Amino acid sequence: MAVAAATGLMVSGYAIVGAADNPAAPGTSPGPGPGAAAKCEATQDKREMRGAWLTTVGNIDWPSEPGLSEKKQKAELDKRLDEAADLELNTVFLHVRPTADAFYESDLEPWSKYLTGEQGGDPGYDPLKYAVAEAHERGLELHAWFNPYRVGMDSDIEELADDHPVKKHPDWMIRYGGEGFMDPGNPEVQKWVTRVIMDVVERYDIDGVHFDDFFYPYPDGDEKFDDDESWEKHGEDFEDREDWRRDNVNEFVSGVHDQIQETKPWVRFGISPFGIWRNDTSDPNGSDTSGLESYDVQHADTRTWIKEGMVDYVVPQLYWERGFDVADYEKLVPWWSEQVEGTDVDLYIGQAAYRAGDKGWDRDTLSSQLHYTADYPEVGGDVYFSFKSLTNVADEAYEELAGDHYSDPALPPLSDDSREGEPLVEAVSGLTATSEDDRARLEWEKTEGASSYAVYRLNSEEAELVESGDVEKYCDVLSSENLVRVTGRTSLETEDKGTAYVVTALDDYRVEGPVSNIADPRG
């Protein structure tokens, strides 16, 4: 509990239902047997969102530049995913549709220009398919990050591929602020973007669908967003155009959520909105801030999305430091916590790793912000922008943060809290352990339906508790402190500390199955 309190993890139950009834292999002990078929209640938490945005637009994070060979692109992505695992992250948000184009093989939209330098240029492989497989191998979740409406800068629009959707439907696009945007008020656009997203959900083994903060565009001076045609055609039920715009976004968000739930309910749907919904000077329900209001400017009614369960999680971009007068981190965290309290929507905080080194951002600023959120149990983790920052401008800041808050690995959050204690996977079987040169080598059999595996290291006393079959006694043993690694592989090499090991499988909903047999490299 001390670790959970110190790191600010959200209380999110875990369960070990049943237990392995496996014949003992050499160097192993049987599991506690079928008599231990009661669930472990959450006596301490070991689930936390630890994510980073892997940005492809402008080649910010990956690939480093367009036109690299397939081999070099894969090598760069492998490095990023290895870094994510080394940084004790458990989720990567991969930008798969930056400008109404694709980082995956699609019959609907052209290949992204950030792969080859030319929109529509075939990179010779399927980057998303490769990324999902490699992320899962490392025990990382992969959420597919879509920008619903952005088409690109004016210069990009002049070079659109012939099969780009707005080339076929020029009336779908509105130019604004030197950029092109698909019109959120056009019902055909809403249907199209939903179709594009569901195509990915249906064909790829992704763990989540993610939107950033781009709905209606950020303001650009006094320029008007010219959606007169859509407003005249489709706004007849509204007296106010602003309300109509918000309804367009709400209908789109709700529709995507519903279709994902109907198709793959374990795939989580979340949005990362601008950090201010409304200021309390505009709305008594707003936050004690005085900055740009996404409700009015981008027509993003995040509060309604939460209250009506249109999303599974939100990641507000709180890119301001503690004490910043316009948008104080210490005022926004409690406001967002209050919005999700009592709902089924999870809250993670979008952290500005890219600001490390800026004025007011010292080495300990990020760690300090996580210390502050520790007092808010509604906060279930953090997502960092952007990935590259964690290994360059924010490397020292992240090192301090990790030392203070990420001393132990963390399981990913449950995709559906109502499924706690109802795993779709059986016990891991055939766990063996051998030791050589101070390294322990663990191997086990593949478990049908497992999305990943959690490996625990136990001392002799803890191993005896597990072997006893007394669930009340051994649940505490399967803790964050004893968690060695989450992996998608069926083997693991780790430091040999002269201890025993057990493994559990996680199903698609991230629920843990029964505990395996006990394996001790000492025989």
pLDDT in tens, 220-251: 999 999 999 999 999 999 999 999 999 999 99
Q: Look at residue 419 in the predicted model and tell me its pLDDT.
A: 72
Residue 270 has pLDDT above 80, yes or no: yes
pLDDT for the residue 4 = 29
Question: Lowest-confidence range among 14-18, 53-57, 277-281, 393-397?
Answer: 14-18
Average pLDDT of the segment spanning 42-47: 67
CA 327/CA 309 separation, integer angstroms: 26
First to last CA, the chain: 33
Phi/psi region, residue 145 (left: phi>0; alpha: psi -120 to 50; beta: rest), is beta
Give me the numbers of helices (H) and strands (E) for the chain, helices first please.
Answer: 16, 19
| 47-406 and 423-515, same CATH topology | no
Q: Do residues 468 and 19 lie in contact, with contact meaning Cβ atoms separated by under 8 Å?
A: no
pLDDT at 41 over 70: no
Bond into 377 cis (ω within 30):
no
CATH 3.40.50.1370 fits 47-406, yes or no: no
Is pTM beyond 0.85 here? Answer: yes
Give the tens place of pLDDT for each residue, 299-357.
999 999 999 999 999 999 999 999 999 999 999 999 999 999 999 999 999 999 999 99
Q: Which residue has the tokens 């706004």?
A: 235
Which class in CATH covers the domain with range 423-515?
Answer: mainly beta
> What does DSSP say about strands 141-146 and 150-153: parallel, antiparallel, or unpaired?
unpaired
Q: How confident is the model at residue 421 (pLDDT cuts 50, 70, 90)?
A: low
**Overall average pLDDT of the 182-196 stretch:** 98
Domain parsing of the chain, residue ranges: 47-406, 423-515
- Report the alpha-carbon distance of residue 8 to residue 333 in Å, rounded: 12
Residue 37 has pLDDT above 60, yes or no: no
